[in-house]
Structure 1
Amino acid sequence: MMPERLLIKNGVNFRELGGYQTTTGQQIRKRKLLRSAALSQLSTEDLNYLGEYGLKYDIDFRSPQERQKQPDRLPDQANYYFAPVFTVDQTRSQDDARQHDQRLLNEENAGFKQMLDAYNDIVLSANAKKAYRQFFDLLLANDAPDQSVIFHCSAGKDRTGMGAVYALTALGVDQATIRADYLASNVFLKERFKPMADRVPVAQQNPIYQENIQALSTVSEEYLDCALGTIQREAGSLEHYLATELGVTPAQQRDLKKIYLTD
């Protein structure tokens, strides 16, 4: 199923995770678990919409530089939590200096390799593990009715995408559905990433650069498989990784299911 798009006008990749079915036949509750790209450009109308949606917790996976450059805008009742996955944005999702990067301009597959490195760091780095542990703590805190949590980075595709992989796995959603949700970012971000001719000087519109920017600007099965392969090598399975590396206990998984799944 295609995820339900939230009716946000000044933002992209805003969507519900409610409605997904688990392997036990339950569903994730609507208006509880949301994912998105940046919240920095939200209009007053958007803020009112999220306020009516019950937004209580905002989890920001961006780097300190990204947060400083584009701080979140939130409805009054929402609380902000900073959980940086990277100390700098390795996915380069908001990096204006990309068009001057000689590797991206001249080296084939540089963008693709950079993304694989970023996904390995998402799995392996202590900073990322700390951020996702905080993420689960806040998911567990979101236990009141009529309250929702949103988690995001800049484009809502990589750091947010892996957050969704972890959360949906803990809730018992099957891996095919989780993969489809991850890849849906390419659909939701089409409007954000305009054709190359609209975004860079003519002198830099070479095929190598275009391919590298495409690699940085989209999600790929190969990126997800890189992360999952690293998890398999390090922990044996995704479920074991959640338990041993992120510290999500069986009791906490049961609590998460009580909070986010239908009876």
Structure 2
Amino acid sequence: MTNDAHFPASAPNFRDLGGHTTRDGSVVRRGLVYRSDSLANLTDDELHALGDRLGLRLQVDLRTSFERAAAADRVPDGVEYAVIDVQGDHSTGADLAAMLTDPERSAELLGNGGGERFVHEVNRMLVSWEDALAGYGELVRLTAAGPSPLVFHCSAGKDRTGWGAAVLLALLDVPRETIVADYLASNARLAQAREWMHGSAARYGIDPDLLQPLMEVRAEYLQSAFDEADRVYGSFEGYVADGLKVAPETVTALRERLLSPG
């Protein structure tokens, strides 16, 4: 299953994290780790295909309890389901809800560059939130130890999932420019998310232009997360060891499982 297959159609940001080349020429194995947007709308055929064709064994949901209640995952038979809520009850969830339903609040929060500032702040918090630190540490450990193949996802598959993918690829020593390219690949796959947000804006009388920074990923958003790791922990390696509490042997296991010689 290639990254260009756009399978399943109901989750257009579902894609293989494999195929990238590391700095030493190793290659991230395909068919072991997938990243995705919401898996709540899978058709029956797609559900069976994830289990039968991809052999999926673990489905990791990074969303909040509110998101899970509003749009519960569909999980193939025989596939384990794990919740790793990397956001918890942080106020950004309430802020986002207000942005999508309250014209006055959206103008206040998103006007004059507020949308960009909001997304930068979210990306910094994905590095420093207590829930996020625990969650991404657990994602790394699950990916290193199995079961696999696994998929991890949030709602649009771009921010929370984007940072999770960046962390895993960085641990595998994939070059930063390749990590950024993988992150930016979400933009071509976000039509459904943009349509939903435009629909919400229209229903509540919100200027859709205000929402544009929330509807896409930008290299500078991801850079904010890496910069926050450097600021708080001194380096990405410090973030992994002291923030995520991921042991060196776990990193070794992750590389042994996911890398093959070039």
Same fold (TM over 0.5): yes
Shift of 1:204: 3.0
Give the Cα separation in 1 of the matches to 2:219 and 2:135: 23
Matched with 2:77 is 76
Q: Which residue of 1 aligns with 2:14?
A: 14
1:137 corresponds to: 141
Where in structure 2 are there 5+ consecutive unaligned residues? none
Candidates 244, 247, 257, aligned match of 1:259: 257
Q: What's 1:216 paired with?
A: 214
Residues 16-35 of structure 1 mapped to structure 2, 5 A cutoff: 16-35=16-35
Residues 12 and 192 of structure 1 are in contact (CA less than 8 Å); yes or no, is this contact kept in structure 2?
Answer: no
After the TM superposition, list the runs of 4 or more consecutive aligned residues in structure 1 that deviate by more than 6 angstroms. 91-94
Trace 1:173-192 onto structure 2 (pairs within 5 A): 173-192=174-193
- Paired residues in the alignment total 256
User: Which of 86, 97, 100 is the equivalent residue of 1:98?
Assistant: 100
Q: Is this contact kept in 1: 2:8–2:46, CA < 8 A?
A: yes
Contact 2:11 2:41 in 1 (8 A): yes
Q: CA deviation at 1:232?
A: 1.0
Secondary structure at the residue paired with 1:73? Answer: coil
SS at match of 1:192: helix
- State the secondary structure of the residue aligned to 2:150: strand
Deviations 1:173-228 (A, max 9, x none): 111100111111111113431398755338836xxx33321111211122112111
TM (normalized to structure 2)? 0.89
The 2-side partners of 1:76 and 1:247 are apart by 32
1:99 and 1:105 in contact (8 A); partners too: no
| Structure with higher helix content | 2
Matches within 5 A, 1:97-246: 98-106=100-108, 107-142=111-146, 147-194=148-195, 200-201=201-202, 204=205, 209-246=207-244
Whole-Å separation in 2 of the counterparts to 1:194 and 1:72:
20
Change (3 A) 1:221 1:8: same
Q: Distance in 1 between matches of 2:204 and 2:103?
A: 13
Residue in 1 that maps onto 2:49: 49
CA distance in 1 between counterparts of 2:89 and 2:251 reads 31
How many Å separate the matches in 2 of 1:219 and 1:134? 24
Counterpart residue identity of residue 14, structure 2: F
The whole-number CA distance in structure 2 between the counterparts of 1:134 and 1:53 is 23
Counterpart residue type for residue 39 of structure 1:
L
Q: TM-score, normalised by structure 1?
A: 0.88
RMSD: 2.4
Separation in 2 of the partners of 1:148 and 1:81? 14
String of CA shifts for 1:54-73, please: whole Å, max 9, x gaps.
11111111011001111110
List gaps (5 residues or longer) in structure 1. none
> Identity rate of aligned residues, in percent?
31
Q: What letter corresponds to residue 139 of structure 1 in structure 2? A: T
Give the Cα–Cα distance (whole angstroms) in 2 for the partners of residues 157 and 91 of structure 1.
Answer: 16
